[in-house]
Structure 1
Amino acid sequence: MYNSIPKRLAALRNLMETNAIEACIIPTSDSHQGEYVSSHFKFRKYLSGFTGSAGTLVVGKDKAGLWTDSRYYLQAEQELRGSGIDLFKTTLPETPCIPEWIAEMNYRSAGIDGEVFAAREVLKMIQVFNKHGVRLVDDFKPYTRVWPDRPDLPDSPFYVFPVGYAGKSVKEKLSELRAELSRQGADYLPVSGLDDIAWLFNLRGSDVDFNPVGLAFALIGPDIANLYTDKNKIDESTLAYLKENNIQLRDYSALYADLSKLPAGSGVFTDTARINYFIYKHIPSNCRRVEGTAPTTALKSIKNPVEIAGFRTAMQKEGVALVRFWRWFEAALEQGKEFYETDLVRKMSEFRLEQDHCKGDSFHSIISYNEHGAIVHYSPSESTKARILPDGYLLVDTGGQYLEGTTDITRTFSLYRGATPEEFKQDYARILKGNIALSECIFPTHTRGSQLDIMARQFLWKDLLQYGHGTCHGIGHFLNVHEGPQSIRMEENPELIKAGMVMSNEPGIYRTGKYGLRIENMMLVIEKGESEFGQFLGFETLSLCPLELKAIEKKYYTGQEIDWINAYHRFVYNRLSAFLSEEEKAWLALKTKEV
């Protein structure tokens, strides 16, 4: 009955009509506002067929639309074809925001599940709807009636993440957190981010694909540290660990009731971007709301010395896996073996899992051939996979989860047996020069990411070129591959770039119908020194994988840039060679020879 998108939309519209709702808004997110969600929460994907990791679906009584960003324009056009759902491109100035569109369509009521929306989104929605006389229903949960085979909530167990990897004990983290709450005038902090909870309590899980986290909430106060989760997820040893650290185990659903009982006059820290609207609603009106970025998120972003050392170890392991993958692939291609993109995704995972302490991939590898590379977050599948031929381009964006740290890297390879086409060499230079410029940038403290973004884009802008995604995101320590609060992108983000943060550096260019080209390294923010003008910061490149020498044409680079490339390749060889066989070392020596 529900085997097609139009039928699913019709079922939802019937339920909307029964409840006097003229528009229903379905986000990608879950109750924890995570970027990656378990299958239980993928209602937007079920209704629309769109598989991208970002987007919001609006189903009106007679129209439907999907709002997503430039990473997914090509993918959304393909996946929405024939569904009756229009595509709205969020980065275009003429695209209306969702509440305004609902008002323009003369819909007089809108339904949402407030538990899967960030509080900030709903508060903005309410302002627009009030202006236009649109009634908001914030507890519309159509899942049971519309999604009969909805997956259950995941129930994988939590396990303790040893302090030898974490670098700080739970007691140390709780002490620092309470001190920060007090400094900001707050007594209590509700925590819904799964990675924040995993970091704070030194716990890990496997409820979300590629992310070692488990479904839970937390509530921290002067004398309490509550963990809200399904008690079946906690075995005896983990329960003993919680008791030892004075962490009280509560039912997953008990957070809202506990919030409503907080003492009058208490200061409750409220990160409206990271808590769902139901959490916000249950904070008593006689409590003070202290708004800002959740201290757990901010503290987690600054890596301690043990975590930093772990990242370096993880980079070495990932580098070995990448060398073995690339060497194997080149030899197999030379022998005329037949490959599809999906074969390479599986093979990359196999090489990675050979490394000690590897727990799997940190995201579904993006391995895209030729024109598929122009789909920024393309995910090869059995229905879309392309055959890899010796002439062309291959973009490999991949990463792993190691106990020592999380990795994320992108390289774009030329598969041409003869000369690599000049257009690609020019594009490669634009991207690599931007990557180098950002990695070499020195900047004062109190610098925001938007102030640094031009360093990576400048060589594209000079030639009237652009990419639509951000340049840098934070990366977790054996946690989520995308981590905040920091970023480097064109859009304003008030969070400062601080020493100890680990970030990506990934400019790119995407030529529809031809190829995508991206070069991504991970970087550590480090202190560079102090002068009479204040303290200054910079970056240390962590990733260990050769660049594509076949795409590097010396005439497009300055002498300093060539020096950087050669120094980077010496760094890669020196760090990896001790872990390679003689044949692998010889191969790596060729890939890192001087330009």
Structure 2
Amino acid sequence: MNTHEARLDALRKELKHQELDGFVIPISDEHMSEYVGAYAQRLAWLTGFGGSAGAAVVLADATRDPAAAMFVDGRYTIQVRDQVDGRLYDYESVPDTSIAEWLGKHAPASARIGFDPWLHGKAWVEAARKALAKRGGELVAVERNPIDAVWEDRPAASTAPALVHETALAGESSQAKRAAVAEWLAGEDLDATVVSALDSIAWLLNIRGSDVDHTPVALSYIVARRDGTADLFIAEEKVTPELREHLGNSVTIRPRDAFEDALGEMKGKRVAVDPGNAVHAIFAALESAGADITETRDPTILPKAIKNPAEQQGHRDAQLRDGTAVARFLHWLSGEAPKGALTELDVADRLYRFRQECGDLRDLSFDTISGAGPNGAICHYRVCEETNRTLEPNSVYLVDSGGQYPDGTTDITRTVWIGPDAPPAEVKDRFTRVLKGHIALALAVFPRGTRGSQLDTLARQYLWQAGLDYQHGTGHGVGSFLGVHEGPQRIAKPAGGQGGTEQELLPGMILSNEPGYYKAGEYGIRIENLVLVEKREIAGGEGESMGFETLTHVPIDRTLVAPGLLAPHERQWWNDYHAKVRDLLAPKLDGEALAWLGEACRPL
């Protein structure tokens, strides 16, 4: 019996002990975060799955068929099969199916299926309960997560101190932000709002932390009131004198484990809760207390997404620092990779060191996707010792990476050809179609009110013409020294459960522009820059128009371009973009790296 099989067996024994017929395990924490701390990596511990989105259902009876299933979306179709034992779990594709649908079909009649109310949202609970009810089953909120009961060496939650984020970088004081929330509450005739998303808390209080890998947040909750005061629920060991001074008298610091009891004190209060961010347990506690709950979007979400001038300039500064590091890396790679001795891990480590050398790096913004050859075809590939490949001569290498800096969060993907021979015609064709889509989105001009779903087709059109596509969104929002994935803005297909595409794009929002193409078992291609939504003045235009300022400035591999497929305006974009890359980066480079930059930025 292997490790994950033994863990599954232990879980089933615990389920029987708790008189449960099954249990649902998401990738989540008490804040419904995308990336979670080591203490909350229950799905990875149980199954071996290392992606950032997914879930599993385990039935207590191992003799049933199916007895367990893994649920992932199209980004992880290949990865889940590499990491999760198909003898133990069926593979299910979201959104073609859902956990609720699966339970409705496969749970035993009159089953008691457990769930941790601190790890699931209200909508999920309602859907699962409805599906089980059709089979006479019951969804049971557990008091103790059965994974935790059998995970003997489970890491403790981080005790790292919460840090003050300078107002000069935030562009607005915490007091002003809390006053805006108070004004919103008064306008909606509400008494308070519960803020549970970690990046919302960090933004509202101008604090940061190191409790979650790659996302500078501190584990905590906030209850903000219409009089401008707030309660911050945070572990006492994380509170420093600097934090107390920064928050002032209007923010009361309370123990994190007092949060649930505090919700129980809200009888008769009109409380706003965001069902997209708040777990079921928060709603249950407020309902039990007799609070009057209003379900609405977290009032910090939109102002956090619309970057103020200080945050916009911080992003430009961080991008220049980061771009210098990536350019130095690409120069180094161009000389070393064709020798055939580098591995994916070697390259990811070297890129990290280049970022460190450029200064002010606090963390990566996510685990570097370092994909050689067929591994590059796994959209969100995560390299490890077991999958580590050599960058072979005459192959495609994809590297998607980013850094966390005090003034901004970066995210960039470059696809490069490892020589010495020329790329095959098919690879150049696919790369150029991706490039054309990237350029079409970068050049887009659109009226106010446009949503990301309306722009997504621009990036896919040239792939569609060849009967091709990619199974991920084209663009996600990005935070300011916060989450590398930040809503509500997004550029993606309107259907398929990807979410966020119906938010109109507003000046100040930052998104990625990252179309791609993936040939399973062979190679992957993605070109990603970050862009800022900005107002555009159009002579004779009627109404307000907007476009994108490209923030990322790093050469794109000209070796992979088929110039004959580019229209004149696309060549012009390429030449203009690389002229700016050269102007920005040349003062930061010298010697062979500077010479490489000049060659990489030559006009087409």
TM over 0.5, shorter chain: yes
Contact 2:320 2:585 in 1 (8 A): yes
* 3-state SS in 2 of match to 1:219: strand
Matches within 5 A, 1:279-428: 279-284=282-287, 286-333=290-337, 336=339, 338-428=341-431
Distance 2:302 2:412 in 1: 24
Aligned partner of 1:226 among 222, 231, 255: 231
Listed one character per residue, the Cα deviations across residues 375-410 of structure 1 (whole Å, up to 9, x for unaligned) are 111111112111122211110101011111000000
Contact 1:262 1:284 in 2 (8 A): no
Distance 1:199 1:537 in 2: 26
**Counterpart of 2:532 in structure 1: which amino acid?**
L
Contact 1:374 1:512 in 2 (8 A): yes
Deviation, structure 1 residue 132: 3.6
Listed one character per residue, the Cα deviations across residues 422-450 of structure 1 (whole Å, up to 9, x for unaligned) are 10110011101111111111112222211
**Counterpart of 2:511 in structure 1: which amino acid?**
M
Distance 2:358 2:88 in 1: 46
Aligned partner of 2:242 among 195, 215, 237: 237
Aligned partner of 1:506 among 514, 517, 527: 514
Return closer, same or farther for 1:446/1:3 CA change in 2, 3 Å cut-off.
same
Deviation, structure 1 residue 289: 2.5
Contact 2:103 2:128 in 1 (8 A): no
Listed one character per residue, the Cα deviations across residues 444-467 of structure 1 (whole Å, up to 9, x for unaligned) are 222221111111111111111111
Distance 2:537 2:24 in 1: 49
Matches within 5 A, 1:192-591: 192-223=196-227, 224-242=229-247, 244=248, 246-264=250-268, 266-284=269-287, 286-333=290-337, 336=339, 338-492=341-495, 493-529=501-537, 533-591=542-600
**Counterpart of 2:527 in structure 1: which amino acid?**
I
Distance 1:442 1:144 in 2: 51
Q: Which moved more, 1:198-207 or 1:80-89?
A: 80-89
Distance 1:307 1:276 in 2: 30
Deviation, structure 1 residue 18: 2.5
Aligned partner of 1:177 among 165, 178, 181: 181
Listed one character per residue, the Cα deviations across residues 112-164 of structure 1 (whole Å, up to 9, x for unaligned) are 00101122221222233334422111125213431111111111111111111
* 3-state SS in 2 of match to 1:388: coil
Deviation, structure 1 residue 11: 1.5
Return closer, same or farther for 1:448/1:267 CA change in 2, 3 Å cut-off.
farther
Matches within 5 A, 1:20-169: 20-60=19-59, 61-62=61-62, 63-81=67-85, 83-91=87-95, 93=96, 96-107=97-108, 108-140=111-143, 141-169=145-173
**Counterpart of 2:535 in structure 1: which amino acid?**
E
Taking structure 1 as the reference length, the TM-score comes to 0.96
* 3-state SS in 2 of match to 1:198: helix
Deviation, structure 1 residue 180: 2.4
Deviation, structure 1 residue 331: 2.0
Structure 2 regions of 5+ residues with no counterpart? 496-500
The number of residue pairs the alignment matches comes to: 588
Return closer, same or farther for 1:48/1:328 CA change in 2, 3 Å cut-off.
same
Contact 1:5 1:83 in 2 (8 A): no
Distance 1:189 1:443 in 2: 35
Distance 2:367 2:107 in 1: 40
Give the aligned partner of residue 498 of structure 2.
Answer: none
Return closer, same or farther for 1:448/1:17 CA change in 2, 3 Å cut-off.
same
Aligned partner of 1:188 among 176, 186, 192: 192
* 3-state SS in 2 of match to 1:578: helix
Listed one character per residue, the Cα deviations across residues 487-525 of structure 1 (whole Å, up to 9, x for unaligned) are 111135332211110000111010011100000000001
**Counterpart of 1:526 in structure 2: which amino acid?**
E
Coordinate RMSD, CA, aligned: 1.7
**Counterpart of 1:315 in structure 2: which amino acid?**
Q
Contact 2:314 2:408 in 1 (8 A): yes
Distance 1:245 1:510 in 2: 54
* 3-state SS in 2 of match to 1:115: coil
Distance 2:327 2:431 in 1: 20
Contact 2:441 2:458 in 1 (8 A): yes
**Counterpart of 1:579 in structure 2: which amino acid?**
K
Return closer, same or farther for 1:333/1:9 CA change in 2, 3 Å cut-off.
closer
Distance 1:301 1:245 in 2: 28
Contact 2:394 2:422 in 1 (8 A): no
Distance 2:453 2:295 in 1: 22
Contact 2:183 2:226 in 1 (8 A): no
Contact 1:349 1:360 in 2 (8 A): no
Contact 1:353 1:360 in 2 (8 A): no
Structure 1 regions of 5+ residues with no counterpart? none
* 3-state SS in 1 of match to 2:487: strand
Return closer, same or farther for 1:446/1:183 CA change in 2, 3 Å cut-off.
farther
Distance 2:302 2:327 in 1: 35
Deviation, structure 1 residue 582: 4.2
Distance 2:510 2:365 in 1: 15
Listed one character per residue, the Cα deviations across residues 234-262 of structure 1 (whole Å, up to 9, x for unaligned) are 112222222x2521111112122112212
Return closer, same or farther for 1:83/1:252 CA change in 2, 3 Å cut-off.
farther
Deviation, structure 1 residue 263: 4.7
**Counterpart of 1:465 in structure 2: which amino acid?**
L
